[in-house]
A and B are shown apart, each in its own frame.
Chain A
Amino acid sequence: QSALTQPASVSGSPGQSITISCTGSNSDVGGYDYVSWYQQHPGKAPKLMIYDVRKRPSGVSNRFSGSKSGNTASLTITGLQAEDEADYYCCSYAGSSTWVFGGGTKLTVL
């Protein structure tokens, strides 16, 4: 079970859009529509932002959206705001009741 691959960092200016990728394999991301995304501010617990590839929990801004193509899932944030600066992690179901996280991406709002 290998960690999913995410870029170490991405950045964008307020109002812009960014996309974070999450690459796995046919055994996880490509094999199931159970990809979730988490936002983590320093010293805080992760917060669920996207589940089932593209669904948003109640209370999460519609500026956050998810998608998937093959073995790569993506998180897009539109209209960047200063409060979006955080670490973002993807997670995928990997079969046999196991889950795997990505290495995390640090988003900097310039």
Chain B
Amino acid sequence: QLQLQESGPGLVKPSETLSLTCTVSGGSISSSNYYWGWIRQPPGKGLEWIGSMYYSGSTYYNPSLKSRVTISVDTSNNLFSLRLSSLTAADTAVYYCARLLSDDDAFDVWGQGTMVTVSS
């Protein structure tokens, strides 16, 4: 059974860069049938798509975050990562990683999420 697990710091200072990792177990990140993505949810608010990537390294970002986001893949360790720079309090959120069905454009498997607080 495929599982995704986010990991990273729970507290980051303003203006710094957030680095999160999503480890995939029970399946290969290199499958041609899937993309992999990051979604976030500020406290009490809705979901926001951050970006997605294909195992080959192709990346796609939310235009509103594109200047600050980098998503990368490590196929040898079956994981992918998110970097978000120039953090502000508005980036405080639960960050989820998820698998995206490439033919159906739906996020079918999600990690449990990790809370990130931006505060000095």
**Is A89 within 8 A of B47, CB to CB?**
yes
Interface stretch, picked from B17-25, B77-85, B100-108, is B100-108
Which residues of A from 80 to 110 have beta carbons under 8 Å from B?
Answer: 89, 91, 93, 96-104
**Is B106 within 8 A of A36, CB to CB?**
yes
- Asked whether A91 and B52 contact (CB < 8 A) given A101-B46, A101-B47, the answer is no
Which residues of B from 15 to 71 have beta carbons under 8 Å from A?
Answer: 37, 39, 45-49, 52, 60-64
Q: Note all chain A residues with C-beta closer than 8 A to B106.
A: 34, 36, 48, 51-52, 91
**Is B60 within 8 A of A97, CB to CB?**
yes
Interface membership of B112, Cβ < 8 A: yes
**Cα-based distance from A102 to B64 in the complex (angstroms):** 16
**Is B107 within 8 A of A100, CB to CB?**
no
- Least Cβ–Cβ distance between A53 and chain B, in angstroms: 10
Q: Note all chain A residues with C-beta closer than 8 A to B8.
A: none
- Asked whether A48 and B107 contact (CB < 8 A) given A96-B60, A97-B52, A102-B46, the answer is yes
- Enumerate chain B interface residues (CB-CB to A < 8 A): 37, 39, 45-49, 52, 60-64, 96, 100-101, 104-108, 110-113
Q: Note all chain B residues with C-beta closer than 8 A to A55.
A: 104
**Cα-based distance from A89 to B45 in the complex (angstroms):** 11
Which residues of A from 30 to 59 have beta carbons under 8 Å from B?
Answer: 32, 34, 36, 38, 45-48, 51-52, 55, 57
**Cα-based distance from A34 to B35 in the complex (angstroms):** 15
Interface membership of A62, Cβ < 8 A: no
**Cα-based distance from A93 to B37 in the complex (angstroms):** 13
**Cα-based distance from A66 to B62 in the complex (angstroms):** 26
**Cα-based distance from A52 to B101 in the complex (angstroms):** 11
**Cα-based distance from A34 to B101 in the complex (angstroms):** 11
Which residues of A from 1 to 32 have beta carbons under 8 Å from B?
Answer: 1, 3, 32
- Least Cβ–Cβ distance between A25 and chain B, in angstroms: 15
**Cα-based distance from A70 to B6 in the complex (angstroms):** 37
**Is B108 within 8 A of A57, CB to CB?**
yes
Residue of B37, B47, B101 with highest tally of chain A CB at under 10 A = B47
4 tightest Cβ-Cβ pairs between the two chains A and B: A51-B106, A34-B105, A97-B60, A36-B106
